[in-house]
C-alpha cells in the first residue's frame, strides 16, 4: 500500500528561556510510517510527548531535526523544509488536523465554521454547506444552533463542531488529537464511523485516543511514544520504536 | 518516498520583495537589515512592542518614509517588478492610490472628515476615472453594506461616526478599488474589545473573499492569530523570529518571542 506519511529522525526539545533556560527533551530520532487506509495510535503515558509529536506532524511545532515526508499533489514534500506558503497549501488540501479544542472565531456561525475548510480547498459553497449540514446532523448538533457562533456552545458541542470541520475535506492524511475526549457514547460511535469511512477512502490516520473502546475500534497498530532522556548505544531510543505492536 | 524524489512546486512570484532595508533616525535605529517577501493573497503579520521598529518598517514599505538603504521590489500590474524607491513621487502616489490600500491606526488620518461617507468611498474610483454619479454612489453603498454601515448614513460626515464605524469606513475606502496589497497599522487599536472582534471578523472575511495580500502591524497577538498566515517578530529594529503564525505563537524559539507569548493574559 502507498505510504502517505513518513517521518524520520524527528527530534524535539523545548528550551524555556523564560524559566531559566531549562531544556526539556521530548523525543529523539523518531521514525514513523503511515500507509493509506491505516490508522496509527500514538501511545504512551501522559507527558510522553504524544501531542508534541502529533503537532510536529502538522508543522505546528518545529522539530529540531528530521524530515516529515508527505505526498502532496502527487509529489513528495518535506514538511519541515517547506516554505510557509507551501505548508499553508499542504494543510489546505493534504493534511487535516483535529485539535482538542475549537479555536472559535467571533461571530462566525457553526455551519460556516464547518464549511470553511472545504470552501478554502475549492469546493463550491453550496456543496460545502450541504456537506457541513450532513456532518452536523450526524454529530447531533441541533439545527437551531447551526447559525450561532460556537463560542457559547458546551465543550462537547464545540468538540463536535471541531470534528465536523476536520472531516469536511477528504484529506489524504488526518491527524486527530483526542477527538472523543468529551463526547457521549452515541457521538463516540459516530466519530468511529467517520474514521472508518476515512480509512476506507484511503486516508492515513494518526491519532491520540485515550478511550480504549475507540482505540480498539479504529487503530491498526500502536506507536509507543516514550522519553528521549535515555538514548541507547545505537543512538536510538528503542522505547519509541514499536512499529508492529498490535492493539490488545 | 525517498529524499531524492523531493521536488518543490513552483512558488508564486512575490508581489513585494524587500531586501536589506534599514532606516535610522540619527543614532537611533528604526529598523535594520530587514528582508522578506509577500506573495499574492498572503497575509503577513508583524508584531513587536512599541519602539521595535515595526511602524518605521511599515512607513518605509508604503512609501511614506525614505529608507537609508535596501530595496523594495513591487510587482506592478503593467511593468513587472520595480524597485519602488526609484519611482518618482508622482508614480509612487499613483501606485499607492490604485494598487495599494493603507489603513491607518487612527481613522482620522485615513478619512476626509468633512466629506460624506459615500464621498470618502467614491474618491478612489473617481481618481481612477469613474465619472457616472449613480454608479459611484451604488458602488459606495455596496461597500457601506459590506462593512456594515447603515445606508441611511451615506450622506453623513464621518466626524459624526463612532470610532469603530470610522475604522470600517476607512477599510471600505481602501478596498473599493480592489488593491492587491493593503498595509494596516494597528487596525483594531483604540477600539473597544467587542468592536475589535467585529472588525477582525469583517477584515478576515474581506481578505479571504478578495484574495488581497496584506501586511498587518500590531502588538496584539490575537489579531495576527486570526488574520495572518505568516508572522515576523521584531525587537530593537530587527526581525528576531519568523514563520507560520501558529508555529511562532505555539512553539516560539527566541527568548523575546517566548516572553511575548507568555505575557498574554488568558481569558
Domain CATH for A74: 3.40.50.300
Q: Is residue B108 less than 8 Å (CB to CB) from chain A?
A: no
Domain membership flag for residue A79: yes
- From chain B residues 133-162, the ones with a CB under 8 A of any chain A CB are none
- Beta-sheet strand order (sheet of B181-185): B100-103, B181-185, B213-218, B43-47, B230-235, B238-244
pLDDT digits (tens, 9 = 90+) for A184-227: 999 999 999 999 999 999 999 999 999 999 999 999 999 999 75
Does residue A156 have a pLDDT over 80? yes
The domain tally of chain B equals 1
Q: Is residue B261 less than 8 Å (CB to CB) from chain A?
A: no
Last-in-domain residue among A170, A198, A217 = A170
Last-in-domain residue among A122, A143, A170 = A170
A157 and A188 share one domain: no
B1 falls in which pLDDT band (50, 70, 90)? low
The per-residue pLDDT for B195 is 76
A86 and A116 share one domain: no
pLDDT digits (tens, 9 = 90+) for B165-216: 999 999 999 999 889 999 999 888 877 777 777 778 788 888 878 889 999 9
CB contact under 8 A, B247 and A59: yes
A54 and A121 share one domain: no
Domain membership flag for residue A102: no
The per-residue pLDDT for B180 is 93
Alpha carbons B147 and A48: distance in angstroms, whole number: 48
Instruction: Please compute the mean of the pLDDT values over residues B86-111 and round it to a whole number.
Output: 90
What residue in B sits closest to A64 (Cα-Cα)?
B253
The per-residue pLDDT for A232 is 38
Residue A25 bridge partners (DSSP): A13
Enter the pTM of the model: 0.87
The per-residue pLDDT for A101 is 84
Least Cα distance to B101 among B46, B178, B39 occurs for B178
Domain CATH for B84: 3.40.50.300
Q: Is residue B246 less than 8 Å (CB to CB) from chain A?
A: yes
Residues of B in contact with A81 (CB under 8 A): 6
Domain membership flag for residue B146: no
Q: Is residue B10 less than 8 Å (CB to CB) from chain A?
A: no
ipTM of the prediction: 0.86
Domain membership flag for residue A103: no
Which of these ranges, A33-37, A44-48, A141-145, has the smallest mean pLDDT? A44-48
CB contact under 8 A, A18 and B251: no
Domain membership flag for residue A247: no
Give the residue from A69, A106, A115 with the most B CB atoms within 10 Å of its CB, the best one to mutate: A106
A211 and A145 share one domain: no
Domain membership flag for residue A75: yes
B10 falls in which pLDDT band (50, 70, 90)? low
The domain tally of chain A equals 2
Smallest Cβ–Cβ distance between A76 and the set B5, B204, B247 belongs to B5
Q: Is residue A120 less than 8 Å (CB to CB) from chain B?
A: yes
> Across chain A, what does the average pLDDT equal?
89
A106 falls in which pLDDT band (50, 70, 90)? confident
Domain membership flag for residue A86: yes
A179 and A90 share one domain: yes
A139 and A32 share one domain: no
Query: Grid coordinates in use for A97?
Result: 488536523
Domain membership flag for residue A184: yes
Domain membership flag for residue A136: yes
Query: Grid coordinates in use for A228?
Result: 528521549
A31 and A151 share one domain: no
Give the residue from B5, B7, B9 with the most A CB atoms within 10 Å of its CB, the best one to mutate: B9
Q: Is residue A18 less than 8 Å (CB to CB) from chain B?
A: yes
Domain membership flag for residue B69: yes
- Structural domain that includes position A34: 3-94+171-242
A7 and A88 share one domain: yes
Residues 6+ apart with CB under 8 A from B80: none
Domain membership flag for residue B129: no
Domain membership flag for residue B53: yes
Domain membership flag for residue B152: no
A228 falls in which pLDDT band (50, 70, 90)? very low
Last-in-domain residue among A170, A186, A212 = A170
Residue A22 bridge partners (DSSP): A16
Smallest Cβ–Cβ distance between A87 and the set B9, B12, B244 belongs to B244
Distance between alpha carbon A146 and the CA centroid of its chain, in Å? Answer: 24
Does residue B9 have a pLDDT over 70? no
A104 compared with B162, residue with greater pLDDT: B162
Give the residue from A84, A107, A120 with the most B CB atoms within 10 Å of its CB, the best one to mutate: A84
Angle at the Cα of A233 (from A67 to A6), degrees rounded to 5?
Answer: 20
- Structural domain that includes position B78: 12-99+179-188+216-267
Amino acid at each position: 500500500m502507498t505510504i502517505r506519511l513518513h517521518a524520520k529522525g524527528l527530534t524535539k526539545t523545548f528550551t524555556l528561556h523564560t524559566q531559566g533556560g531549562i531544556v526539556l527533551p521530548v523525543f529523539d530520532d523518531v521514525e514513523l510510517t503511515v500507509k493509506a487506509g491505516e490508522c496509527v495510535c500514538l501511545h504512551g503515558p501522559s507527558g510522553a510527548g504524544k501531542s508534541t509529536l502529533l503537532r510536529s506532524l502538522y508543522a505546528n511545532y518545529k522539530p529540531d531535526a528530521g524530515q516529515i515526508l508527505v505526498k502532496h499533489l502527487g509529489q513528495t514534500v518535506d514538511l519541515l523544509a517547506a516554505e510557509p506558503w507551501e505548508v499553508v497549501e499542504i494543510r489546505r488540501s493534504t493534511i487535516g488536523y483535529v485539535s482538542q479544542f475549537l479555536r472559535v472565531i467571533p461571530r462566525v456561525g457553526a455551519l460556516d465554521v464547518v464549511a470553511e475548510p472545504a470552501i478554502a480547498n475549492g469546493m463550491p459553497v453550496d456543496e460545502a454547506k450541504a456537506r457541513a449540514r450532513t456532518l452536523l446532523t450526524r454529530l447531533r448538533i441541533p439545527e437551531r444552533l447551526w447559525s450561532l457562533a460556537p463560542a457559547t456552545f458546551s465543550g462537547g458541542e464545540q468538540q463536535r463542531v471541531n470534528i465536523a470541520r476536520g472531516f469536511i475535506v477528504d484529506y489524504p492524511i488526518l491527524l486527530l488529537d483526542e477527538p472523543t475526549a468529551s463526547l457521549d457514547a452515541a457521538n463516540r460511535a459516530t466519530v468511529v464511523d467517520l474514521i472508518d469511512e476515512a480509512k476506507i477512502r484511503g486516508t492515513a490516520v494518526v491519532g491520540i485516543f485515550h478511550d480504549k473502546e475507540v482505540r480498539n475500534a479504529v487503530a491498526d497498530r500502536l506507536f509507543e511514544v516514550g522519553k528521549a532522556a535515555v538514548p541507547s548505544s545505537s543512538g536510538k531510543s528503542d522505547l519509541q520504536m514499536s512499529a508492529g505492536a498490535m492493539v490488545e | 518516498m525517498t529524499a531524492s524524489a523531493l521536488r518543490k512546486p513552483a512558488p508564486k512570484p512575490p508581489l513585494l520583495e524587500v531586501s536589506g532595508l534599514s532606516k535610522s533616525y540619527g543614532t537611533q535605529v528604526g529598523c535594520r537589515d530587514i528582508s522578506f517577501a509577500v506573495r499574492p493573497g498572503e497575509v503577513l503579520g508583524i508584531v513587536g512592542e512599541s519602539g521595535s521598529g515595526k511602524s518605521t518598517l511599515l512607513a518605509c514599505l508604503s512609501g511614506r518614509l525614505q529608507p537609508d538603504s535596501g530595496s523594495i521590489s513591487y510587482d506592478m500590474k503593467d511593468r513587472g517588478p520595480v524597485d519602488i524607491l526609484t519611482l518618482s513621487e508622482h508614480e509612487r502616489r499613483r501606485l499607492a492610490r490604485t494598487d495599494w490600500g493603507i489603513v491607518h491606526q487612527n481613522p482620522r488620518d485615513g478619512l476626509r472628515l468633512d466629506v460624506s461617507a459615500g464621498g470618502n468611498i467614491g474618491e478612489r474610483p473617481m481618481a481612477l476615472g469613474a465619472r457616472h454619479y449613480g454608479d459611484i454612489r451604488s458602488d459606495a453603498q455596496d461597500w457601506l453594506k459590506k462593512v456594515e454601515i447603515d445606508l441611511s448614513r451615506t450622506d453623513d460626515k464621518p466626524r459624526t461616526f463612532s470610532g469603530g464605524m470610522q475604522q470600517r469606513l476607512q477599510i471600505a475606502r481602501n478596498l473599493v478599488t480592489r488593491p492587491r496589497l493593503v498595509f494596516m497599522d494597528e487596525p483594531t487599536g483604540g477600539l473597544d474589545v467587542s468592536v475589535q472582534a467585529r472588525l477582525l471578523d469583517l477584515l478576515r472575511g474581506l481578505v479571504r473573499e478578495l484574495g488581497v495580500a496584506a501586511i498587518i502591524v500590531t502588538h496584539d497577538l490575537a489579531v495576527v492569530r486570526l488574520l495572518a498566515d505568516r508572522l515576523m517578530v521584531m525587537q530593537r529594529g530587527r526581525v528576531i523570529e519568523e514563520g507560520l503564525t501558529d508555529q511562532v505563537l505555539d512553539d516560539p524559539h527566541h527568548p523575546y518571542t517566548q516572553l511575548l507569548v507568555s505575557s498574554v493574559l488568558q481569558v
